[in-house]
Chain A
Amino acid sequence: MKINYRQLSIMVFMSFIALKFLALPSLLYVESKNMSMLVALALMLIDGIYVFVLLDLMKKSGEKNIYEFMKSCLGTVITKLVLILLILKYALVAGNISKGLEFFVVENLYTEFNWFVFVLPLMILVGFMVYKGIRNIARVGEMVCWAIVIGLIYIALKALSGIDILSFLPFFKDGFKPLVDSAWIHLSWFGSATFMFMLFGFVDFRSEKKTEMIKYIIFAILIVQLLYFVFYGLFEVTCPTHNYCISDISQFSSTYSAIDELSWLVVSMWIVAQAVQLGLYGYCMAQAIKYLFDIKGNILSIIIVVVYLLAWSFIGENTIRMEEIFFTPFASIVTFLAQYILPVVLQIAYTIKNRKKKGGEKVKEVDYEREKNRDKEEVKVNI
């Protein structure tokens, strides 16, 4: 069951905007103040570059899944270690989305709401999404994507008139160090391309349009920047006290018109998008567990994922917030290795392996252009 290139682009888009509209903007503000937008921009651009590095690797892997591809390049032991690293990254992201959603719904949307009533159906949903596979997640992503985009733009534009441009000045007052510090501390909120590892061998590149992916990435960056621009311009010095960016913007800009009720519709749609993202990272985690322990079916890995997320809700209820784990250097190191180092290592390993095999058997690469042309020729013949 493969997904097409457009679906992959939409998933990249959704992954780029996931995690960005709850606590992150206020956390960034603590270190990087009025330059927080720049930190987000820089890290998202780097993520964008790595999407293309991973796309290249995906094409090189051909029909092989990530486990088979890494095993052929790095050997079994290193592959297993890398899988542990990826499981950690997915666990961090999935845990963060799940806890973020839980806090948002239980603490922010309702005054009295039993967290279990929200968490249990959510976990059943996640389990079901993971069970149904990547194609279903991609299709749901396609369905909600544009509603989310329109909604986010609507929320941003509605609040745009209230912003104060002066709050963004002066630029670089304290130099670059706070920005670098902030980027490192909050690195784990980025690394949005890492889910692509688990899609090796599951993407049909025959429908690839060269500019499609770049359009979606630019679009995602612009939307995040627009929302951040509104958020920082609106709340200025009080930014660190706003943990729920998306709802705080819509609440602050609310007037007495009926159209304000739409904001909550948008927020609800955004919750759906977060659930899809949770399904995606749950799927990635389950796949990685499957590869690591050589599990044949899907059920066991799905149970592990759901139990892990449920455990977070139980343990994290009174003892620890997911954000606290995200603050640790451990989380930053995991993201740094998984998102920024691993693709480069794989590229190098693949090149070395191919050089060694010069004259001998070469790792099979699929020529998608030729495949595409062949498809066209077949269609002509059929006509």
Chain B
Amino acid sequence: MKEKKTEIKKKLKSIFSPKKLVLWLSILILIFTVPAFNKSAMSQTQAIVTMLCVDKIDDKIKVAATVLTPSQDKKANFQVYSGEGETLGYAVDSVSLAIGKEMGFAQCKIMALGENICSEGVMQVLDYMTRTKKVGRNAVLVSFTGGVVDFTQAVANLNLEKSLRLDRIVSFDKRYVLTQDSNIETFYIGYYSPISLGLMSKVKLGTSEEFNAIEVASSDSGSAGGASTDMSSTGDGGENKKFIMNDGTVSLFKNGKHYIDMTLDEVKKANIFVNDAQKGTVVVEGVTDHIYNNAKVVVNILKKDISIKPSFKDGIPIYKTDVDLTVFIDEVIEENPSERLLRRNQDFLTNALIAKIKEKMEGDMREIIKYCQDNEVDLLGVYKHFYALENKDFEEYLNRVGEKNYLDGIDYQISIKVKSEN
């Protein structure tokens, strides 16, 4: 018995000797690497999708995808393919069938949703794309106007012609327009919150030039240089030149469906009372004192501290917002500017100006609250603050007035402090 054991030990030692280990390792490497030579390159079997546009036209889902094909020719890098089908899955499959490659969405940075699909509800699209097609939840989410193929082509050309990327343009919005990133994750968080409110940047595609529109080609001819391939049989292109415009419009979604669009002005007003948005400007008119003479003053907000204190008094909810602003006088517009404005060593943030800023901001807040009440959208996060900080009283209040009208019975108070950067 002992002899047998020592024999086995000897055999094991000889099998696992250093020299034989190298041999084993080599065999192992061969097992894993040799079959790879028999496979075609991944770029031949998988299409790297960097952007996907979806819309619904005549009861059919229409998709267009920008596919990245690594190439020395820069213009050949991005190609646009489109397809349609009864469902989103069929539509995506039709593109795969047409180009003979599986659509890979792991690198998809932008999901653009057309007006029709936005009105019908976007959750099914997002669910399918993130769960089945594995689009990352940090992919930028935009709603758009214009044709699916035209828009996709225009965005691809924006990159090729102007070296501008739509995902970066929209991400930049967070600093000035939106209070959050416009991506799939934040949209989900908004959708699954009790108020079921989602926000999305809206990018427009037009044919006429507006003041902040960017001109791009929208089809394969012209400046796209033949790099793109429009396979759509119902090509919705027209003129070659189109204009992409991100004017700060934000689409609001309730229960996953497009509800209303907010203009840049409305969004900016709302942002002043939300802590997340740090940048902003306040414009006041008719400032008159020892420095200003009926001046229009543009004040830049450099820093903003907002403290929100929800409370209840005699069963009435009070939403108190303390705003502490550090500002910088950006522009002073007077009919006949006097030399006073050029004097050094004086505080340009005068009491008259502060009073005007406060008056303007209070007015803005009233306006935005009325906007929220009229449209039944909780842009300021009133629900979240009361739910988190005054839970019991708030639930009683909700039982009393109902979930729908809770914004109406709240007493909104605002206190503003303004100081200059110095």
Contact = CB atoms under 8 A, between A and B. Distances in A.
A157 interface: no
Which of B189, B381, B387 is packed against the most chain A CB atoms within 10 Å? B189
A252 B134 contact: no
Contacts of A169: 387-389, 391
Contacts of B104: 111
Contacts of B193: 236-237
A192 B193 CA distance: 35
Contacts of B189: 235-238
B42 interface: yes
A170 B387 contact: yes
Nearest to B276: A164
B138 A252 contact: yes
Contacts of A112: 42, 46
Q: Chain B contact residues: over half helix, strand or loop, or mixed? A: helix
Interface string A127-171: 000000000000000000000000000000000000000110110
Given A112-B42, A166-B388, A252-B138, 6 more contacts: A166-B385, A235-B189, A237-B189, A251-B137, A252-B137, A299-B12
Interface residues of B, number: 26
Contacts of A237: 189, 192-193
27 contacts: A111-B46, A111-B104, A111-B106, A111-B134, A112-B42, A112-B46, A121-B28, A121-B32, A166-B388, A166-B389, A169-B387, A169-B389, A169-B391, A170-B388, A173-B391, A235-B185, A235-B189, A237-B189, A237-B192, A237-B193, A238-B189, A241-B188, A248-B137, A252-B185, A254-B138, A256-B168, A297-B9
Contact of B32 (A117, A170, A235, A236): A117
A236 B195 CA distance: 14
Contacts of B32: 117, 121
Contact of B391 (A121, A170, A241): A170
Q: Which 3 A-B pairs have the closest CB atoms?
A: A169-B388, A170-B391, A237-B192
Contacts of A251: 136-138
Nearest to A234: B185
A173 B395 CA distance: 12
Contact of B384 (A117, A166, A254, A299): A166
Nearest to A299: B12
Contacts of B9: 297
Interface string B127-140: 00000001011100
Contacts of A111: 46, 104, 106, 134
Interface in B352-392: 381, 384-385, 387-389, 391
Nearest to A164: B384
Nearest to B130: A241
A248 B189 CA distance: 14
Contacts of B385: 166
Interface of A: 111-112, 117, 121, 124, 166-167, 169-170, 173, 235-238, 241, 248, 251-252, 254, 256, 297, 299
Nearest to A256: B168
Contacts of B137: 248, 251-252
B106 to A, nearest CB: 5
B236 to A, nearest CB: 31
B338 to A, nearest CB: 44
Interface string B98-131: 0000001010000000000000000000000000
Contacts of A117: 32
Contacts of A235: 185, 189
Nearest to A241: B188
A317 B106 CA distance: 23
Nearest to A297: B9
Contacts of B388: 166-167, 169-170
A58 B137 CA distance: 48
Which of B12, B387, B388 is packed against the most chain A CB atoms within 10 Å? B388
Nearest to A254: B138
A67 B377 CA distance: 66
Contact of B192 (A124, A173, A238, A297): A238
Contacts of A166: 381, 384-385, 388-389
Which of A235, A236, A299 is packed against the most chain B CB atoms within 10 Å? A236
Contacts of B389: 166, 169-170
Nearest to B193: A237
Contact of B188 (A238, A248, A254, A299): A238
A256 B193 CA distance: 28
B120 to A, nearest CB: 22
Contacts of B106: 111
Contact of A238 (B12, B42, B185, B387): B185
Nearest to B25: A124
Contacts of A173: 391
A229 to B, nearest CB: 16
A167 B388 CA distance: 7
Contacts of A248: 137
Nearest to B185: A252
Nearest to B9: A297
Interface string B5-21: 00001001000000000
Contacts of A124: 28
A237 B384 CA distance: 12
Nearest to A240: B192
Interface in B174-195: 185, 188-189, 192-193
Interface in B24-42: 28, 32, 42
A107 B185 CA distance: 19
A235 B190 CA distance: 10
Contacts of B46: 111-112
B95 to A, nearest CB: 17
Contacts of A299: 12
Interface string B385-407: 10111010000000000000000
Contacts of B188: 238, 241
A105 to B, nearest CB: 14
Contacts of B185: 235, 238, 252
Contacts of A297: 9
A248 B136 CA distance: 9
A159 to B, nearest CB: 11
Contacts of A170: 387-389, 391
